[in-house]
């Protein structure tokens, strides 16, 4: 595709345990001859606190009962 840089967003540090839940997709990303960069983490900027809290409650409900 001609891309020189592609952000696959998220992986474990180099000394990760094979039992970690993210170990599988970290190995997948390493398979591309990856050079890992440590960047600033993403953050949420909350503009509407009531909607944000409502979303969090609904998301937790969905995780508990539908997955």
The answer to whether the beta carbons of residues 27 and 48 sit under 8 Å apart is no
Q: Higher model confidence: residue 30 or residue 60?
A: 60
Tell me the pLDDT tens digit for each residue of 16-51.
899 999 899 888 888 877 777 777 878 889 999 999
Distance (Å) of CA 4 to CA 1, 30, 37, 41, 65: 9, 16, 14, 22, 42
- pLDDT of 67: 61
- pLDDT of 50: 97
User: What contacts 24+ positions apart, CB below 8 Å, involve 35-41?
Assistant: 36/11
């Amino acid at each position: 595709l001609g891309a020189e840089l592609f952000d696959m967003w998220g992986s474990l540090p180099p000394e990760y345990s094979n039992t970690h839940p993210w170990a599988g997709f970290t190995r997948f990303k390493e398979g591309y001859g990856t050079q890992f960069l440590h960047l600033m983490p993403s953050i949420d900027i909350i503009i509407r606190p009531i909607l944000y809290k409502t979303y969090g409650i609904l998301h937790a409900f969905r995780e508990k009962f539908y997955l």
